[in-house]
Amino acid sequence: MTTYTEFYRRSIDEPDDFWAEQASLIDWEKPFERVRDYGSPPFTRWFVGGLTNLCHNAIDRHLANRADQTALIWVSTETGQEETYSFGDLHAEVQTMAAIILSLGVKRGDRVLIYMPMIPQAVFAMLACARIGAVHSVVFGGFASSSLASRIEDARPTLIISADAGCRAGKVIPYKPLLDEALELVSTRPAKVLIVDRGLAPTPMRAHRDESYISLRQEFLGATVACEWLESSSPSYTLYTSGTTGNPKAVQRDTGGYSVALAASMKHIFCGSPGETFFTTSDIGWVVGHSYIVYGPLIAGMATLLYEGLPTRPDPGIWWRLVEKYKVTTMFSSPTAIRVMKQHENESLFEADLSSLRSLYLAGEPLDVPTGKWINGALRKPIIDNYWQTESGWPILALANGVESADSKFGSPGLPMYGFSVRLIDDQTGEEITVANRKGILIIDGPLPPGCIQTIANDDERFVKTYWSKVRGRYVYSTFDWGVRDEDGYYFILGRADDVINVAGHRLGTREIEETISGHPNVAEVAVVGVADPLKGQVAVAFITVKDRSAVAASEGASTQKHEILKLVELRLGAIARPARVLFVPALPKTRSGKLLRRAIQAIYEGREPGNITTIEDPSVLGAIAESVIPT
Ligand code: PRX
């Protein structure tokens, strides 16, 4: 048996042989000519010349052996619905959806924006796009009109697919009005909008633009649409994520590299086999949903469970009952979800029969040791923390138990995964940190392995400038995360080094929130920082200076303005971006050149020393910040 050390070494030292072997995990219509082209670094093309299709690998490939086996299980505890689709059913539904999309004028290479709740039609839509070579861009359903508008503006989709409404905690959240509002804000609009009417909210349709999925489905029932064979480097999708600026970045991914990377991760990291059931509790609007609700499990021939609802409704035992009912073997969730569950700790929480479950994978934010130990003790199953990013598409740090089992260390997402040449560098000198237990920035030597970000859509320059730097002639990719490595080579992640925050495992850009708050007429300046929170990992707090101080002098005025500001964020960006607190302060700490010292604000809020503030223009400002954070 190969040791993981040897497996990893081969992936770094003999990447062509290594990845050519992994490539045999998927189907190729035409074999590739070259494993990798790194002729124009840091851009990388994987499996050059090969023809394949993501949807073929996720569905069609399995029809011969498992057409009748379950592919998709949908459970909505919001509407009380449960549906099961075999690979054969999924094949039919995806072809119908593909025929509808084609009939609405979408061609290969066109973008299709998907703004949908967690319903099967969202999965059909993604797979249908992949089938016909259209590039999907799923926008998280929790985002509101401005966030949606900026993404529509950037993606310039030919078609938008949406629904009448989503549902959260029993409350109907109409999507269509938000979409209509977003479409008013953009300069170029798609000719067509396809609406899946769930019968949850009244949905006025606009003539000539809006089309009904339900009626078109009748028309195209039984349609056959062949897979388009795509060159491996053809984009499969874009997915927006936050960075340091207010403009979201469209992370673009390829077709062949991504299929191979997912197939390999399902085998080596998630240890999944055909016929088993995978349950990922994320949302299709995030990268975890793309890779491990939709594509990864299906590529592996597994059934995937799509869940619409909260982890605590009707009660906190719901997920575990689903594990029992559907014989879930592999579960993937987030530390916040587990912390929420821990709050409801009681004997009945894990009453279900969990014998089918092998492991629980957790990612998206740091897994604190008490939470890790608690869930490990409660489930008596291995808990596998894994670290990655929207950009990587699959785990950068984890344990490859499918290659050789390794012990988990609480607090650590584990070891570098095959293909990722991970190192730590000093943020000041750029020198590599070779000693154990010293903090540095986590970087990855180029080229990145298959499945990772190809570029930022339509902006190669931004891609290179944002992520890459040249160190002694070699390109290195920055994760923007602080990390340390212990004597055994296990890494620990210590948080972001940029202005990205992580609220309940959701990645948010503070700049986008700041820009929205600046839109309030009485706001002069604003700094949004992420501060530690025992439940959500981090929450956003807004520090604001106002133009007219008299308006916030009395507590009544201050609370009205706070309310207005929060409402503004909720309406424009969505409730997910709402700061947990809004604090009015006399001034914000800045450097002499006018740069906001967000880190100093964060440190003060968290009760730490503000660190290196020698460049601060007026140190007395910090005292007022410290006073403002004392709860009133
Ligand atoms: O800061 C790291 C944190 O989440 C960021 C990436 O978020 P996103 O693009 O939404 O992708 C999530 C994919 C799982 C990272 O830069 N992060 C992610 N996983 C972990 C983590 N921090 C600590 N431990 C993790 N396991």
Q: How far is the CA of 291 from the centre of ligand 1 (A)?
A: 14
Choice from 286, 332, 387 to test ligand 1 binding pocket (greatest atom count within 8 A of CB): 387
Q: Is 291 in the pocket of ligand 1 (CB under 6 A)?
A: no
- Does 4-309+386-421+456-467 match 504-629 in CATH topology? no
Q: What is the pLDDT of residue 1?
A: 74
Sequence-separated (6 or more) residues with CB below 8 Å from residue 393: 253, 258, 261, 262, 287, 290, 291, 451, 452, 453
> For the chain, which residues make up each domain, given as ranges?
4-309+386-421+456-467, 504-629
How do residues 152-176 score in pLDDT, each as one tens digit?
Answer: 999 999 999 999 999 999 999 999 9
Alpha carbon 62 to chain centroid, angstroms: 27
Ligand 1 lined by 383 (C-beta under 6 Å): no
Give the pair of three-digit tokens for residue 263: 């197939």
Query: Atom 21 of ligand 1 has which residue's CA nearest to it?
Result: 365
In order of 128, 277, 296, 442, 447, the CA distances from 261 in angstroms are 21, 20, 9, 21, 14
pLDDT for the residue 632: 60
- pLDDT, tens only, 77-106: 999 999 999 999 999 999 999 999 999 999
CA-closest residue to ligand 1 atom 23: 366
The answer to whether 170 and 188 are in contact (CB under 8 A) is: no
CATH architecture of 504-629: 2-Layer Sandwich (3.30)
Q: How far apart are CA 337 and CA 627, in angstroms?
A: 33
Q: Which protein residue's CA is at the shortest distance from atom 24 of ligand 1?
A: 366
Distance 485 CA to ligand 1 centre (A): 17
**Above 80 in pLDDT, residue 550?**
yes
Residue from 493, 494, 501, 576 to probe ligand 1 pocket by mutation (most atoms less than 8 Å from CB): 493
> Which ligand 1 atom is nearest residue 493's CA?
23
Is the confidence at residue 308, as pLDDT, over 90? yes
pLDDT at 245: 80
Q: Is 390 in the pocket of ligand 1 (CB under 6 A)?
A: yes
Residue 432 φ then ψ, to 5°:
-70, 140
**CATH H-level superfamily of 4-309+386-421+456-467:** ANL, N-terminal domain (3.40.50.12780)
| Residue in 100, 74, 64, 68 with CA at minimum distance from that of residue 87 | 68
pLDDT computed for residue 247 by the predictor: 84
Of 202 and 611, more confident: 202
Distance (Å) from CA 631 to ligand 1 centroid: 30
pLDDT (tens digit, 9 = 90+) per residue, 469-525? 998 889 999 999 999 999 999 999 999 999 899 999 999 999 999 999 999 999 999
CA-nearest residue for atom 8, ligand 1, is 389
Pocket test for ligand 1, best of 361, 384, 389 (most atoms within 8 A of CB): 389
Q: Answer for the pair 364, 390: CB distance below 8 angstroms, yes or no.
A: no
Task: Determine whether the shortest distance from the Cβ of 363 to ligand 1 is under 6 A.
Answer: yes
Residue 330 pLDDT class (50, 70, 90 cuts): very high
Comparing 264 with 2, which gets the higher pLDDT? 264
**27-36, 128-137, 453-462, 497-506: segment of lowest average pLDDT:** 497-506
Distance 495 CA to ligand 1 centre (A): 9
631 has a pLDDT exceeding 80: no
- The mean-pLDDT minimum among 3-12, 246-255, 416-425, 435-444 falls in 246-255
- Verify whether ligand 1 is closer than 6 Å to residue 385 (CB atom): yes
Distance 251 CA to ligand 1 centre (A): 15
Mean pLDDT of 221-242: 97
Q: Is the pLDDT of residue 426 over 90?
A: yes
Asked if the bond preceding 589 is cis, omega within 30° of 0, the reply is no
Instruction: Calculate how far, in angstroms, residue 507's C-alpha sits from the geometric centre of ligand 1.
Output: 8
Q: What spacing in Å lies between the alpha carbon of 249 and ligand 1's midpoint?
A: 16
Q: What is the pLDDT of residue 620?
A: 82
The HSE-up count of residue 95 (CA atoms within 13 Å, CB side) is 17
Q: What pLDDT is recorded for position 593?
A: 84
Alpha-carbon dihedral angle through residues 314, 73, 353, 310, given to the nearest 10 degrees? -30
* Residue 626 pLDDT grade (very low, low, confident, very high; cuts 50, 70, 90): confident
Choice from 388, 391, 466, 490 to test ligand 1 binding pocket (greatest atom count within 8 A of CB):
388
Band (pLDDT 50/70/90 cuts) for residue 442 is very high
Distance 228 CA to ligand 1 centre (A): 33
Tokens representing 390 are 């929207």
Determine what percent of the chain is predicted with pLDDT higher than 70: 99
Q: How many angstroms separate the alpha carbon of residue 479 from the centre of ligand 1?
A: 10
Residue 617 pLDDT > 90: no
pLDDT value for 273:
97
Instruction: Decide: 366 in ligand 1 pocket, CB within 6 A.
Output: yes
Mean pLDDT of the 217-240 span = 98
Residue 525's Cα: distance from chain center in Å? Answer: 30
Q: Is the CB of 481 inside a 6 Å radius of any atom of ligand 1?
A: yes
- What pLDDT, on the 0 to 100 scale, is given for residue 492? 98
Look at ligand 1, atom 10, and give the residue with the nearest C-alpha.
Answer: 507
